[in-house]
């Protein structure tokens, strides 16, 4: 007798059905958009998709999720040990779910949440995690970005369970529609690892759109020369209903907080319009924004590498060009 994941295909060989566990990212009240991007990636793998949602009181987020089309199950685990979404405890939950249901794929967004979680799960299951996936060719062949986006790798994974973090900007968001997936409770016994405890968090509030989901982003670099001068970019952003981002050099110099950083070690964005102001275009910065649909660069150096990826370039002193642009809008 075979388990429900095993069948005989037309050539008479045994094969496992694809069954994916998608790890939802949410804040208990609402799903975070990357979950819908990761769901699209999960659908490309094929087979059954279950979603795991772990939190404290995550009923509202689970209800939103159950409306997604193409899900067979929403597994809900609620416990105080998931307060703050600490990776240690949620990893223990995922490993327990994997031992019970034997998924062929475990998938999450390549966000800070997914990036801290999945390597732990992979280590516990003794397989290699596959990070930063930007394309799915088949159930075992994936395209990923390596060397800060300077090379694209196609890899075939042979591990029995494939653990993938997927880049949100590479997959359209799956719509939450008229789906009605079954919602099941998952026990969370044994998930309080006592390795970390959540103390508090402070969320920065802004009236501007969120950086990773904004349609327009205005980013500043070291060329701005001070934090005060970022006001030029905030004024422009307000006219365009844009989010403000920054290069790492601007963050390291203390001009702006590090949650604004775009790039390899910052946020990955792909807005309709990205305006890079006083940014040279180092590969680590490009890794975070080169998938933007239209890129505009303002730089006084005509040889700045940013012009190689820009659709429109303006060789100019930003201190003149930006106020002029803002005034004309
Ligand atoms: C492991 C690693 C990870 C990294 N991760 C990131 C990352 O996530 N994101 C990131 O951004 N960087 C990252 N970096 C740093 C990266 O290599 C660059 O140092 C950084 O991106 C440079 O920032 P910048 O373009 O603002 O500064 P600079 O390279 O100093 O460029 C400033 C630009 O401003 C222009 N300029 C100056 N004055 C004016 C003016 N008045 N008008 C118009 N233009 C002007 C100059 O011509 C110049 O091109 C990383 C580096 C490493 C090693």
pLDDT in tens, 166-203: 999 899 999 988 888 899 999 999 899 999 989 998 87
> What pLDDT, on the 0 to 100 scale, is given for residue 179?
85
Atom of ligand 1 nearest to the CA of 247: 11
Beta strands in the chain (DSSP E): 6-8, 14-16, 19-23, 48-55, 73-78, 105-109, 129-136, 141-146, 151-156, 162-166, 182-185, 216-220, 243-246, 273-277, 294-299, 312-315
Low-confidence ranges of the chain (pLDDT < 70): 1-16
Report whether 267 contacts 288 (CB < 8 A): yes
Q: What count of Cα atoms within 13 Å lies in the side-chain half-sphere of residue 24?
A: 30
Name beta bridge partners: 224: none
Pocket probe for ligand 1: among 145, 227, 247, 250, the residue whose CB has the most ligand atoms within 8 Å is 247
- Structural domains of the chain ordered from first start: 14-185 (3.40.50.620), 211-328 (3.40.50.1220)
Please list every protein residue whose CB sits less than 6 Å from any atom of ligand 1: 221-223, 247-250, 261-266, 278-280, 282, 284-285, 288, 299-301, 304, 317-319
Residue nearest to atom 18 of ligand 1 (CA): 282
Axis-axis angle for helices 230-240, 318-328 (nearest 10): 30
> What pLDDT, on the 0 to 100 scale, is given for residue 16?
56
Q: Strand 151-156 vs strand 141-146: parallel, antiparallel, or unpaired? A: antiparallel
Binding site as annotated, residues for FAD: 222, 247-248, 261-265, 278-285, 299
Distance 249 CA to ligand 1 centre (A): 5
Q: How far apart are CA 10 and CA 87, in angstroms?
A: 41
Residue nearest to atom 53 of ligand 1 (CA): 284
> What pLDDT, on the 0 to 100 scale, is given for residue 149?
78
- Per residue in 87-131, pLDDT tens? 999 999 999 999 999 999 999 999 989 999 999 999 999 999 999
> What pLDDT, on the 0 to 100 scale, is given for residue 320?
98
> What pLDDT, on the 0 to 100 scale, is given for residue 296?
98
> What pLDDT, on the 0 to 100 scale, is given for residue 148?
78
> What pLDDT, on the 0 to 100 scale, is given for residue 203?
77
């Amino acid at each position: 007798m075979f388990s429900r994941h095993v069948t005989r295909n037309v050539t008479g060989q045994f094969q496992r059905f694809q069954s994916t566990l998608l790890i939802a990212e949410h804040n208990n009240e609402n799903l975070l958009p990357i979950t819908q991007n990761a769901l699209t990636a999960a659908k490309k793998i094929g087979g059954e998709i279950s979603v795991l949602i772990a939190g404290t009181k995550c009923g509202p987020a689970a209800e939103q999720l159950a409306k997604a089309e193409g899900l067979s199950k929403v597994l809900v685990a609620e416990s105080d040990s998931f307060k703050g979404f600490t990776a240690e405890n949620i990893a223990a939950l995922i490993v327990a779910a994997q031992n019970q249901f034997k998924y062929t794929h475990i998938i999450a967004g390549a966000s800070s949440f997914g990036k801290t979680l999945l390597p732990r799960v992979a280590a516990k299951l003794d397989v290699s995690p596959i990070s930063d996936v930007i394309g799915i060719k088949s159930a075992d062949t994936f395209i990923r970005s390596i060397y800060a986006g300077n090379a694209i790798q196609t890899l075939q994974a042979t591990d029995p369970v494939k653990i993938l973090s997927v880049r949100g900007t590479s997959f359209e968001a799956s719509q939450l529609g008229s789906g009605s997936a079954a919602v099941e409770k998952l026990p969370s016994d044994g998930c309080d690892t006592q390795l970390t405890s959540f103390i508090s968090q402070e969320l920065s509030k802004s009236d501007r759109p969120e950086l990773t989901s904004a349609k327009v982003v205005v980013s500043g670099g070291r060329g701005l020369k001070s934090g005060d001068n970022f006001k030029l970019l905030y004024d422009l952003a307000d006219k365009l209903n844009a989010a403000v981002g920054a290069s790492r050099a601007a963050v390291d110099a203390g001009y702006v907080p590090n949650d604004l950083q775009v790039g390899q070690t910052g946020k990955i964005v792909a807005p309709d319009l990205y305006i890079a102001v006083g940014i040279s275009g180092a590969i680590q910065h490009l890794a975070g924004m080169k998938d933007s649909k239209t890129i505009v660069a303002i730089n006084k150096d005509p040889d700045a590498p940013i012009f190689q990826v820009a659709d429109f370039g303006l060789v100019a002193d930003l201190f003149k060009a930006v106020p002029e642009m803002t005034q004309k809008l």
